[in-house]
Structure 1
Amino acid sequence: MKVYIAAIAGRVPDAMVQSISTFMDACYIARRDDLNEKSIKELEAAVARFHHFREVFRTTGVRPEGFSLPRQHSLSHYADQIRNFGAPNGLSSRVDFISRGMLPPDRAAPPLPFAVDIVQGGAGDFDALPIDDAFVTGNVVLARTRESPRRYPPAAEDLATTIGQPKIAELIWRFLFDQINTDDTITSNTITLDACPEFTGPIRVYHSAVATFYAPSDDSGVRGMRRECIRSTPSWRGQGPRRDCAFVVKDVKQPGMKGMSVVRAQLFFSFDYIGVTYPCALVEWFKTIGRSPDPVVGMWKVVPDVVRGERETSVLHLDTFLRGAHLLPVFGQCSIPVDFHYLYSLDVFNSFYVNRFADHHSHEICY
């Protein structure tokens, strides 16, 4: 179902796609660990939209006898039952544990997540740091092990040739200006390169970064913290390059995708400048289409951001990253060759859906 909606869009009546999308919305909201009155009203609205759009299955003759389906009917009662008994996700197991004497009835709710899960390791190497009192919802750090300098020359000019990005030195200089500059009215895009700090030091390259974020509704660890690896490697399992996408936060005051953008990580690296270590990523940008999600599919649509015929590229600090993002191609009416390899999807298609059904956390932050 995480990829099915995009696959059928444009190939079946729009109302059918909308029916499945709104049904998925209702399922994802109902299974959240934390529900309040706002999310319950969102659930009621999703169920109402689903009941409206599912009529297409009756009018087209797919289900002429109607919808006397117990599980679909039960959706109508979820909101009231949640108000009376709490979130369904984990409710029955808690009651069962209490009845078996395995959990005291007055047991307190789990504590808020702390920075215990901020890590310095890569995939499969998650060594936690001491507990900090800061509440965190997301943190991204580079993998523990850097790639060999023989493979990635530490000098910017040589590295540019190796990775095929001739502007990496310029992008680093402009990045440093934005990091050091305290005047919010001036950005590196509005000045000449000569006005930026000059950096000629060594660069350390990594093939992955680790995101740690609060996702209690998904399979997660202690305090609801979840980890995932964001990769940018020229060879993934010997099949070809893998350059993952990620959400970056642009405006913390705006909700959902209105405050975020999607980027594709082309290179993870770090360097030192005047005693400060900067963990960074060289990224390509995507830009959203319209001011709201696609009305049929229910997901935001993005396209590669192209300026004067070239992909918009920049260097970002890892503290702007939130977590990985999953993009689904907008297939349209094209047919995919049988031998097409998924590793090249982001290079072949012209537009994409930001898949908010990838997991519960994606659904919450994109909703």
Structure 2
Amino acid sequence: MEDALERFYRYREVFKTVGVVFTFSLPRQHSLKHYHRHIQLFAAPNGVCSSITENKHIKAVKELYRRSNRFNALGQMLETNQRLDKLAAMRINFTAREMLTGTCLSSVLTSMKTIQGPVPPSPNNEPEVNQGSAAQISTEEDPEDVESDDGPMVIQAHVQLAKTPQGKKRAQTVPALANELGIPRLPTLIRQFLFEQNLPGDLRDLSEVPLYECPLYDGKVSVFNSASSRFYAPSDLSGVAGMRTEHIRACPRWRNESARYDCVFINTDTECGYNGMRGLEIARVYCFFSFTFRGRYYPCAVIRWFDKPDDRPDEDTGMWIVRPAYRANRFPEYAVIHIDSIFRAAHLIPLYGPHFVPVNLHHYHSYDAFRAYYVNKYADHHAFEIAF
């Protein structure tokens, strides 16, 4: 190939002197010198027949990768490819046997006509009922049951825990969970949480409530590694009615590498995001758990609060700045909240200082290594709509 390229560069001037057909398209001559190396590295001739290879690449690689969970995706992609081949072969088989002609309903109606024979004419010359029209009328909604709603769209999110608890893999009692998370005050936080849930009319600050007035619970808990938030986000890639679902992770080991504790938006007003960051707080989730107290089920989250040092976004970036919150004795400010107060996941960008970032600083250290963060409102369209 190198010899052929050398001869091509030597004799290609003949195309200028003799001339070529206008419909003739020369290869991409500026990239010919990379052919040999790129074929060795990527098995691709650097753009030649790109329309064919790109089409096959989309079907064989891109679509399969998007169907995977993006972690060790090769095995999942190969298995998906095998299943698609089997489905294609099955479709050819069913088509040859005429199993895909018509619908299930038409097949049943044809069978009934074959068994019952022709329908005799109705007596008294009564007109036959158009069954198709009757079925259509019966499925139409009563206009009185449908009401036009011109009010504002409610963007309150619905958060629910994962379907499967971790069981014996994680702590199963309150003291064990406090030891696992390294939060000795967790039993106290749970008691304060129960006080808020059972006495919502008490307007006292939790710091002013004596601990003996708070219900005591130190029984069993079920720990979960994630929760899902479903919210209205029509501006982003969403499903039916503009709803979108995302997962919030809080697990001590993510993909066999390190811990992952995501940040979230917390609703603190009744406007559900219409006041922007003035009605939202930022927190980092350290654990999702649930328990039953006096016959009532409580899905909860252990969080660490972030403070907003200013009452307006940064004038240079347009993003709000938050800092990890501390108590008076410089201990982190933790809390136990109901998952209904969680809006959706939040993305924070470290507020970098004048020094270089250490080389050994990994991405999973980002939320622990910096003193302040920007609330990234440019993460997606919905974040831009609420984090103003």
Considering the TM-score relative to the shorter chain, is it more than 0.5? yes
Larger Rg: 2
In structure 2, what is the equivalent of residue 196 of structure 1? 214
Q: Would the aligned equivalents of 1:201 and 1:272 in 2 still touch at CA under 8 Å?
A: no
The answer to whether structure 1 residue 178 and structure 2 residue 199 are counterparts is no
**2:308 is matched with which residue?**
288
Q: 1:243 aligned to 255, 261, 275, which one? A: 261
Q: For residues 22-33 of structure 1, what are the structure 2 equivalents within 5 Å?
A: none
Alignment of 1:298 with 2:318, yes or no, is yes
Q: Distance in 2 between matches of 1:166 and 1:324?
A: 26
- CA offset at residue 199 of structure 1? 1.1
* Equivalent residue number for residue 154 of structure 1: 172
Partner of 1:232: 250
Give the distance between the partners of 2:331 and 2:218, measured in 1 at CA: 26
The match for 1:168 is: 186
Query: Is the contact between residue 351 and residue 373 of structure 2 (CA under 8 Å) also seen in structure 1?
Result: yes
TM-score, normalised to structure 1, is 0.62
Looking at structure 2, the residues matched to 338 and 293 of structure 1 have their Cα atoms a distance apart, in angstroms, of 30
Report the counterpart of residue 337 of structure 2 in structure 1: 316
Q: More relative contact order in 1 or in 2 (CA 8 Å, sep 6+)?
A: 1
More helix by proportion, 1 or 2?
2
SS at match of 1:298: coil
Tell me what 2:159 maps to: 140
Shift of 1:200: 2.8
Q: Secondary structure, in 3 states, of the residue corresponding to 2:358?
A: coil
After the TM superposition, list the runs of 4 or more consecutive aligned residues in structure 1 that deviate by more than 6 angstroms.
none
Other structure's SS at 2:253 match: coil
Which whole-Å deviations, capped at 9, do the CAs of 1:97-134 have from their partners, x for residues lacking one? xxxxxxxxxxxxxx99xxxxxxxxxxxxxxxxxxxxx9
Distance 2:216 2:225 in 1: 26
Counterpart position of 1:279? 299
Deviations 1:287-306 (A, max 9, x none): 11211000011100000111
Residues 296 and 272 (structure 1 numbering): CA distance in 2 closer, same or farther, change over 3 Å?
A: same
Offset of 1:137 from its aligned partner? 3.3
Gap regions ≥5 residues in structure 2: 1-145, 148-152
Instruction: For 1:39-118, list aligned pairs within 5 A.
Output: none
Larger CA deviation: 356-365 vs 195-204: 195-204
Q: 1:277 corresponds to which letter in structure 2?
A: Y
For the residue of structure 2 that corresponds to 1:198, the secondary structure is: coil
The alpha-carbon deviation at position 251 of structure 1 amounts to 1.5
1:192 to 1:357, Cα distance in 2 relative to 1, 3 A = same
Give the aligned residue type for 1:197.
Answer: P
- Cα distance in 2 between the residues matched to 1:309 and 1:136: 36
Which aligned pairs between 1:324-339 and structure 2 lie closer than 5 A? Answer: 324-339=345-360
1:152 deviates by 2.4
Corresponding residue for residue 280 of structure 2: 260
Aligned sequence identity (%): 39
**How do residues 120-139 of structure 1 correspond to structure 2 at under 5 angstroms?**
137-139=156-158
Runs (5+) with no aligned partner, structure 1: 1-110, 113-133
Instruction: String of CA shifts for 1:19-78, please: whole Å, max 9, x gaps.
Output: xxxxxxxxxxxxxxxxxxxxxxxxxxxxxxxxxxxxxxxxxxxxxxxxxxxxxxxxxxxx
Q: Measure how far apart 1:136 and its partner are.
A: 5.7
TM-score, normalised relative to structure 2: 0.58
Which whole-Å CA distance do the structure 1 matches of 2:309 and 2:384 have between them?
A: 19
**SS of aligned partner of 1:209:** strand
* In structure 2, distance between residues paired with 1:293 and 1:245: 18
SS at match of 1:170: helix
What is the RMSD computed on CA atoms of the aligned residues?
1.9
Q: Distance in 1 between matches of 2:165 and 2:260?
A: 17
- CA contact under 8 A between 1:299 and 1:356: conserved in structure 2? yes
Distance in 2, Cα, partners of 1:170 & 1:137: 29
Distance 1:200 1:337 in 2: 42
Q: Compute the displacement of 1:337 (Å).
A: 2.4
Offset of residue 205 of structure 1: 0.2
Preserved CA contact (<8 Å) 1:178 1:187:
no
